[in-house]
């Protein structure tokens, strides 16, 4: 059962996932597990819910990502957003949906 809002789950995810070391452009099985579990992707019953979550992640991260003046942080957050949306997209495709 999902007992948190998407915003609460994303804050929790960024508290754990955001502090991990990442290899830019790659997603480890550990990262996938953290994203799936924290955002409760397996508990979401329909594809539209997953699409709404994906849109929310993009809109939220777009506002969180700083401008280009802080290139290292900027690139790290874009990479994190890309990884999160990739994992959500994989769940959508695995359920027969299109992204």
| Residue 41 placed within a domain | yes
> What is the per-residue pLDDT for 74?
73
| Structural domain contains residue 62 | yes
Enter the pTM of the model. 0.89
Instruction: Write down the pLDDT at residue 66.
Output: 67
Question: Could you tell me the CA-to-CA distances from 24 to 31, 44, 83 in Å, in that order?
Answer: 12, 28, 10
User: Which pLDDT belongs to residue 67?
Assistant: 66
Question: How far is CA 30 from each of CA 16, 47, 97, rounded to the nearest angstrom?
Answer: 12, 24, 24
Does residue 1 belong to any structural domain of this protein? no
Domain membership of residue 20 (yes or no) is no
Query: What integer pLDDT is reported at residue 59 of this predicted model?
Result: 92
Q: Is residue 30 one of the residues assigned to a domain?
A: yes
Question: Is 40 a domain residue?
Answer: yes
* 57 within domain boundaries: yes
CA separation, residue 26 to residues 23, 76, 99 (Å): 6, 12, 20
Domain coverage including residue 41: 6-14+25-94
**Average pLDDT of the chain?**
89
How many distinct structural domains can be found in the chain?
Answer: 1
Tell me the CB-side half-sphere exposure of residue 95, using CA atoms within 13 A: 19
Instruction: Please report whether residue 19 resides in a domain.
Output: no
């Amino acid at each position: 059962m999902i007992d948190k809002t998407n915003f609460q789950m994303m804050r929790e995810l960024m508290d754990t996932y955001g502090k991990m070391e990442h290899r830019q452009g790659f997603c480890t099985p550990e990262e996938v597990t953290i994203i799936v579990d924290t955002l409760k992707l397996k508990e979401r019953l329909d594809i539209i819910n997953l699409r709404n979550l994906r849109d929310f992640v993009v809109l939220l991260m777009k506002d969180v990502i700083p401008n280009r003046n802080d290139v290292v942080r900027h690139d790290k957050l874009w990479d994190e957003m890309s990884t999160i949306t990739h994992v959500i997209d994989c769940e959508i495709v695995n359920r027969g949906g299109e992204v």
